[in-house]
Chain A
Amino acid sequence: MSEEKISIIVDGQKILCKKDDTYLSAITRAGIEIPTLCHMEELKPSGACRICVIEVEGAPNLVAACVTPVRPNAVVTTYNERIHRARQTNIELLLRSHPLNCIVCNKNGVCTLQKLAYQYVPKSRLSKLEGKKPTTDLAEVNEFFVLNYSACIRCQLCVRVADEIQVCNVLSMQDRGFDIYPSAGFGRSFEEAGCVACGNCVEVCPVGALVSKSIKTTKSRSYELKKTVTTCTYCGVGCQLEILVDPKQNKIVNVQSHRDSINGLSLCVKGRYGWNYVHHQDRINTPLIKKDGKFVESSWEEAFDLIEKQFKKIISESGPDSLAFLTSAKCTNEENYLMQKLSRAAIGTNNIDHCARLCHASTVTGLVKAFGSGAMTNSISDLTNDAEVIFIIGSNTTEAHPVIGTKIKQAVKNGKTKLIVADPRKIELSDYAEVYMSQRPGSDVALINAMIKYIIDEGLYDEAFIKQRTEDFEKLKENISKIDFSSLCKIANVEEEEVKKAASLYATAKTAAIIYAMGITQHTTGTDNVLSLANLAMITGNVGKPGTGVNPLRGQNNVQGACDLGGLPDVFPGYQKVTNEENIKKFKDFWGVDKLDNKEGLTVVEIMNEAHKGNIRGIYIMGENPVISDPNVNHVREALEKVEFLVVQDLFITETAKYADVILPGQSFAEKDGTYTNTERRVQRVRKAIETEGSRLPDWKILEIMLNRFGIEKHYNSPSEIMDEIAQVTPIYGGISYERLENRGLQWPCPSSDHPGTPILHKDKFSRGKGKFHTINYLDPDELPDDEYPLILTTGRNLFHFHTGEMTHRVAGIHQRKPIEKSEINVKDAKKLGIKTGDKVIIESRRGKVLTEVKVTDRIKEGVVFMTFHFKDSAANLLTNDALDPLSKIPELKVCAVKVTKK
């Protein structure tokens, strides 16, 4: 059916409309402005404020443009005397109950009501508007924002954004008539009603009613603040932020979302309120050298001299392979590129790795084997718009990737998507799921094989896709035919009926996507888990189309980029193998060095093991904190103590930096330029928002100096020049330049400067040619519960904190909201152990023990204990197991045996 063309006449001008247009959407698209107060493009129109009234010929009254669908051939007037009077009346009614204190209001200059009043209300009327103002006893003051009820104009934008965007249902309008206000109800604070402090309601408030507390610290007026668009530095979603800086103090005073972006209106609490660590007093301002066990300030010259001397000494005594480098998933692409260049070209070793080893090493290994490319196959927008079914396994999306989490909730709420959730904990998304399965930690292969078996047995697989696009299906089929469905379900400890329901829901949907994260990857069978998911997607033909695919959600802001740019021991930038002679030659010529190491280097855990043995004598760590993040922390501490010379480049004296011989002060994301690559392979700009303090250098500059010290004479005037160099040697980044990233960034592969980027991988052909099925059978985790350690510990994240907490614990509001670890234990286990919520307990494994507070809940599976790894006082990784997946070398952070005793 061809699209119907409707036209209307607006102010004498003909405008084409779409069928489902309202007058407001059609007319504003044509560039004619209609004022609004309660309208927002992202929300369903409500027609509450009546500011957008227009005249439609034939209609007896003025109509609200935002809620009135266009009528073909309508003749419309957007402004005349009658309309002006109507708008004026409505604005005056609002002003009657609004404090006329613009002169001291935070929103002065950026307030919508103020702007409209200026346009529509003559000065002479002001004195008539100073009548009685309503008062209320309601109050909402929390760690992050304030609701100033006296300024509320009841536009209900906050309530609607909570319902439609954040889907938190925290707010509703209380009472009626003149006295209605947004409220959480029953005298509760927002937090008590389930508020996650995303602040999206604060962002949309058109007046000074909902205000971020931080804005009150500014010495400038809102309209004087300097705005910088940049990429959030927390998780892999890559939300675009607008950082507002008070130029008088060189301080960030507020953050809001950049709406023309993947995140749209949404941000989470960390993105919006988690930036104060940038100005924290703990930041290091000058290089520090450890002398007699104490850190002493030094000059850059002195620090570089010492590093050069020590590293050269180690190289001359035991060769470059006795040095190792940990690059950073928090740093920019440009910095990661320089770090691996330092390791490979200047020092001469492939011993470079980073924390991707601990999160998605098995993804990269597994998906490369199955598909030929180890990244998220689809894009956030097509997953949350086009997927009929989303299967979420091992991803607590609303806590770890909050903005993707809210988009999934929106998709379910709007009836677009059905969810299947598999997780040992009843995570928030399980409340939105059609099918929820609570598998035993470490049994994912059994669960996925059970689904595959059911799909094959019932003939629900996509024969055409398998035939055209894949290989080795027969082997998979044969293997699966030998396994018994019931025993697989028994291993996974899930109901057979649920598995059948999930399998047929997934297989029969037109488009079904898989989303997973570390619940899948952090196992000794991590690669097997990933391969099983690839099998599941391929037998149902769910690859290469919108709303399908196998989608690992990457943890850190730039963990994708750190991998892309060669922060791994086996590949040059762009996943070009270091063992391939052609690649060696290419990089040798390009970097102008005689020799490059052609054997794979050591991974994170191996580096620590070798350091323990004395084979790794020097380590350079940039922006990583292995003393908290790595498994079996006691072992890591011992290793770092043994290392002869440790360099740490960071913002703070982290737990890891305490072991350093030299600490170099880096710059935060707000102080430098660069790019991050988010989970959907989108390369996005990081832009400098504030001037740095002390003698800190941007991390890329530090690395440039290091390169120069070790014989690579190359100078970069800006990170943009580094990106140009990256593009020359990294085919997947070949077409990327800062100029092209200006708006919404680019998704790799982007091989040439005219290539538009690739939102969906493996569209007509897999990266490796044909998709390969792998025959996978269930294996037990490395450590299972026994009489001595009867419970399984699994670890994860919390919305408010990030990773090892070095940043979020330094944000006052966040620290106040979540100051300590609260480990979770099942009601039945707690009863047996005589433990209740709030008790202090000791959790102990074969490797260590920690003291923690406990929360008793029925949302976790019996026999399982849950901890986050954000708190150094209750460091979960003292307990975790450093047994490795043999293929990807990822440690088994998600399963280990523990015992719990009441303190």
Chain B
Amino acid sequence: MNVDFDIDSILARYNFDSSALIQILSDVQDKYGYLPREVLEDISQKIEVSLSKMWGVISFYALFKLKPPAKYNITVCQGTACHVSGAKRNLEYIESKLNLKAGEHSPDGKYSLETVACIGSCALAPTIVINGKVYGRNTVKTIDKLLSRLEEGEKK
């Protein structure tokens, strides 16, 4: 990958202070969509936190991603309201449609699938989030529509 990462501006926000590690990682992820290994190594040097210590933080919080996001990141809410209204069925359906398990990326980099405990949109349950946009009241049918819309978008 040939990206020139500039993280000094992020680190400067926090005065290169290692106690701000979580905010720093979060800002880096906002900027690049994930936490590139080269960036982490650079941060490690600059704020004097070993990669292992960063790993402890990164692996603790589900929000941190080490892989570049897929083109379409699909998140299936598993909160109580969604759960009782079919979240599990929806997830299994998407898994079989895309031939992906939750937590995986498709090999072509098009889809990634994950679950989340609750997104707080319980009134719309069961919900699915695609690239940050929330879709509510999902059934197998609406999912079919959503996915074919994504496929069509690809063809254009």
Contacts and interface: CB of A to CB of B under 8 A. Distances in A.
A176 B59 CA distance: 8
A160 to B, nearest CB: 13
B9 interface: no
B59 A174 contact: yes
B37 A172 contact: no
A188 B51 CA distance: 10
Contacts of A194: 50
A185 B55 contact: yes
B53 interface: yes
A3 B90 CA distance: 68
A186 B37 contact: yes
A169 B53 contact: yes
A7 to B, nearest CB: 38
B81 to A, nearest CB: 23
A41 interface: no
Contact of B52 (A170, A175, A176): A170
A645 to B, nearest CB: 57
A9 interface: no
B60 A185 contact: no
B54 interface: yes
Contacts of A193: 50-52
A188 B50 CA distance: 13
Contacts of B37: 186
Contact of A170 (B50, B54, B59, B60): B50
B1 to A, nearest CB: 16
Contacts of A176: 59-60
B55 A183 contact: yes
A188 B37 CA distance: 13
Contacts of A173: 56
B50 A175 contact: no
B69 to A, nearest CB: 19
B66 to A, nearest CB: 8
Contact of B59 (A171, A175, A188): A175
A568 interface: no
Interface residues of B, number: 11
A174 B60 CA distance: 7
Contacts of B54: 185
Nearest to A192: B51
A184 interface: yes
Interface in A170-205: 170-176, 183-186, 188, 193-194
A193 to B, nearest CB: 5
Nearest to A432: B48
A184 B55 CA distance: 8
A184 B56 CA distance: 9
B51 A174 contact: no
Interface string B76-106: 0000000000000000000000000000000
Interface string B31-44: 00000010000000
A185 B53 CA distance: 8
A185 B56 CA distance: 7
A174 B56 CA distance: 5
A259 B99 CA distance: 56
B60 to A, nearest CB: 5
Contacts of A188: 51
Interface centre among B54, B59, B60, B66 (most CB of A within 10 A): B59
A193 B56 CA distance: 13
A337 to B, nearest CB: 48
Interface string B9-52: 00000000000000000000000000001000000000000111
28 contacts: A169-B52, A169-B53, A170-B50, A171-B52, A172-B52, A172-B55, A172-B56, A174-B55, A174-B56, A174-B59, A175-B60, A176-B59, A183-B52, A183-B55, A183-B59, A184-B52, A184-B55, A185-B51, A185-B54, A185-B55, A185-B56, A185-B59, A186-B37, A186-B51, A186-B55, A186-B66, A188-B51, A193-B52
Interface of A: 169-176, 183-186, 188, 193-194
Closest 10 A-B residue pairs measured CB to CB? Answer: A185-B55, A172-B56, A169-B50, A174-B59, A172-B52, A185-B52, A175-B59, A176-B60, A172-B53, A193-B52
Interface of B: 37, 50-56, 59-60, 66
